[in-house]
A and B are shown apart, each in its own frame.
Chain A
Amino acid sequence: MDYTLEEFKHCDLLSVSGRIDSQTAPELAEALDDILDQGRYNIVLDLNDVLFISSAGLRVLINTQKQCKRLNRGEVVLARVPERIYEAMDLAGFIPLFEIFDDKVHAVGYF
């Protein structure tokens, strides 16, 4: 798994690639925690280049969403979710918990 971070005025864009499994989910959690630690709670997670996400990765998404939405201080939104990953998220009942955008521009513009 790799990621790149871009800071915008109203949100941070974290673009992730590769596999998010039990091995790599802690690295993603750390990257997201680093953003939260700066007091930034509006996050776009671009999943376009993610090949695979297991329940360990989904746990990271939901834990981060819980932290961001607490006290109405922000939100995690998802951009460019690959079809297979969308299907797994749908099975897990995750779709109602995240705003999902087809492209990065609209996702960043949401904030």
Chain B
Amino acid sequence: MSDKIKKTVTFPATYESLAAISKFVIAAAEAAGLSDKATYGLQLAVDEACSNIIEYAYEDLEAQGITCTCRVNDRSITITLRDEGRPFNPKDAPEPDLCSPLEERQVGGLGLYFIHQMMDEVRFSCESDGTNVLTLVKHRS
């Protein structure tokens, strides 16, 4: 299906970029006509994914960039995040703890949990040139 909108921006891989990345995502979600709730969910998923890239993929490497592509067609909005950091294995992430009492509550794994809760499709891949690609899809209906 052909894209009605396609935009790509590369942001420096630092926490300072998170607000600008959110603005980019919100603009795309509004152009796609997503509801407030779906727009917030998309913003949360992308923010968590970018925070993970900055914190883990580029942990002790010289920070490079996160290339964010947004595509909108009649059925869905797709955000693709590309980085050149360490590959991410979702199996390495801790399971989220959603119900332990306060004193035992662990807070790891919530970011990845939010990504899966907010998006309809989540795909991690690593290209032959070492680029990590995270694809996040939200259906428009």
Partner-B contacts on A (CB < 8 A): 19, 21-23, 52, 54-56, 58-59, 62-63, 65-66, 69-70, 84, 87-88, 91-93, 97
Q: Which residues of A sit under 8 angstroms from B102, Cβ to Cβ?
A: 62, 65-66, 69, 97
Give the interface SS of chain B, mostly helix, strand, loop or mixed: helix
* A52-B43, A88-B114 known; A21-B19 Cβ under 8 A: yes
**Closest chain B residue, CB of each to CB of A61:** B107
Q: A54-B114, A58-B110, A93-B99 are in contact. List 5 more A-B contacts (CB 8 A).
A: A23-B15, A23-B16, A52-B47, A55-B111, A97-B102
- Most chain-B Cβ atoms within 10 A of its Cβ — which of A62, A70, A93? A93
* A69-B102, A97-B102 known; A55-B19 Cβ under 8 A: no
* A62-B102, A91-B117 known; A22-B51 Cβ under 8 A: yes
Check: B57 CB closer than 8 A to any chain A CB.
no
- Most chain-A Cβ atoms within 10 A of its Cβ — which of B22, B37, B99, B110? B110
**Closest chain A residue, CB of each to CB of B107:** A59
Tell me the total A-B contact number using a CB cutoff of 8 A.
73
The answer to whether A84 touches B40, judged by C-beta atoms less than 8 angstroms apart, is yes
Q: Which residues of B sit under 8 angstroms from A54, Cβ to Cβ?
A: 44, 47-48, 51, 111, 114
9 A-B pairs with least C-beta separation: A93-B98, A23-B15, A55-B110, A84-B40, A22-B51, A55-B111, A59-B107, A21-B18, A22-B15
Partner-A contacts on B (CB < 8 A): 15-16, 18-19, 22, 36-37, 40, 43-44, 47-48, 51, 54-55, 96-99, 102-103, 105, 107, 110-111, 113-114, 117
The answer to whether A62 touches B114, judged by C-beta atoms less than 8 angstroms apart, is no
Minimal beta-carbon separation of A80 from chain B (angstroms): 17
Q: Which residues of B sit under 8 angstroms from A55, Cβ to Cβ?
A: 48, 51, 107, 110-111, 114
Q: Which residues of B sit under 8 angstroms from A97, Cβ to Cβ?
A: 102, 105
Minimal beta-carbon separation of B68 from chain A (angstroms): 15
24 contacts between A and B (CB under 8 A): A19-B19, A22-B15, A23-B19, A52-B44, A54-B48, A54-B111, A55-B51, A55-B107, A55-B111, A55-B114, A56-B51, A58-B107, A58-B110, A62-B102, A63-B107, A65-B102, A66-B105, A69-B102, A70-B103, A84-B40, A87-B40, A91-B113, A91-B117, A92-B98
